Structure 1
């Protein structure tokens, strides 16, 4: 499936999975950061349930990636996973 064929929710889920892999963070670990189960986060990272904006902001903070990366903003490459340091 090309990026054009994917829904925005599927693209976001794919980006979250990429960032999780880059940080070597499991679904269980990420779910724990939300106070939720592995099953809760699994539905989101598989694109079955969309992330809310607030959840995406938390994911970006936890994974130390730009929010723009997660939403697939133009000019933010999938290789742009250098940790973001909060100011």
Structure 2
């Protein structure tokens, strides 16, 4: 697995986390609360989100045979869609 993380500055982290989890729960296995979410993609990737009052912490684990950059773009673009008032959000992805 390739693991990438980003700390996204926003005061609406919990709201965006919940919106994304609800949105993807129709297509994927999702568990979430106001402060945390885990989303399992069909390709074997997993997305973990953690919200606090200042940031949304994002952890993306992608199988070696998948396109990591594309998965980062999918996550960022979907979160930006929910954060349209402050989009684009700042994602500085880094390897773990």
Per the shorter chain, which TM-score range? 0.3 to 0.5
Which is richer in helix? 1
Q: Which has the higher strand share?
A: 2
- Flag the structure with more relative contact order, 1 or 2, with Cα contacts below 8 A and sequence separation at least 6: 2
TM superposition score normalised by structure 2? 0.32
